[in-house]
Amino acid sequence: GQNIDQPTEMTATEGAIVQINCTYQTSGFNGLFWYQQHAGEAPTFLSYNVLDGLEEKGRFSSFLSRSKGYSYLLLKELQMKDSASYLCAVGSDMRFGAGTRLTVKP
Amino acid sequence: DAEITQSPRHKITETGRQVTLACHQTWNHNNMFWYRQDLGHGLRLIHYSYGVQDTNKGEVSDGYSVSRSNTEDLPLTLESAASSQTSVYFCASSAYLGGATDTQYFGPGTRLTVL
């Protein structure tokens, strides 16, 4: 079976950097996805990793270590609009972690 | 522009009634998914389809059914609604050509309340 773990909540300050971790156990691996979900809205795609290492996309970066079953999402220069839930998903059948609710404070 | 839509956006029904939630996508994607989202559980997979006439059960499929008669639509039916099925339901689609094309595009969601 699959198990995907993320912290439930995080708080950070506007302009700061925050790292959201995701650990997983899976019988098959076809890449790891990060999604952003604002309250009351649908999830939207942020990033995809299939090889070990860091993928950078503007203020957002995502890291993967397949041997450790570990990923993180790094958000730089935090803005108020980054307050949202961040969902980690792995596997070809797209199972999701419970999500991390990030609150950005002034 | 391609999109994925769900209807209705809000639904209130009574225990024991049959309810069908619609999902329609114009991405021409092969894969379609249904999830429910509850506080503390994140997104949980109900059913999914990799193409016309293909359907598969997800981790929380009991009490739900789907059918795929064309590429664009994957309706979700609750055979006999129960209060435990009160939730927000999201439909999603993906191209599934492998790798990053597994990226899912989500509909706006349907909030279902079973009284």
**CA torsion, ordered B104, B109, B110, B114, to nearest 10 deg:** 80
Angle at the Cα of A96 (from A41 to A103), degrees rounded to 5? Answer: 50
- For a pLDDT cut of 70, what percent of chain A falls above it? 95
Q: Nearest CA to CA, how far is B97 from chain A (Å)? A: 11
Average pLDDT in chain B = 93
pLDDT of residue A93: 63
Which residues in B lie closer than 8 A to residue A87 (C-beta atoms)? 42-43
Which residues in A lie closer than 8 A to residue B103 (C-beta atoms)? 33, 45, 48
Rounded Cα gap, residues B105 and B27, in angstroms = 9
**Mean pLDDT of the B6-30 span:** 97
- For residue A96, give the nearest of B43, B99, B108 by CB distance: B43
Which residues in A lie closer than 8 A to residue B33 (C-beta atoms)? 94
Task: Check pLDDT > 90 for residue B35.
Answer: yes
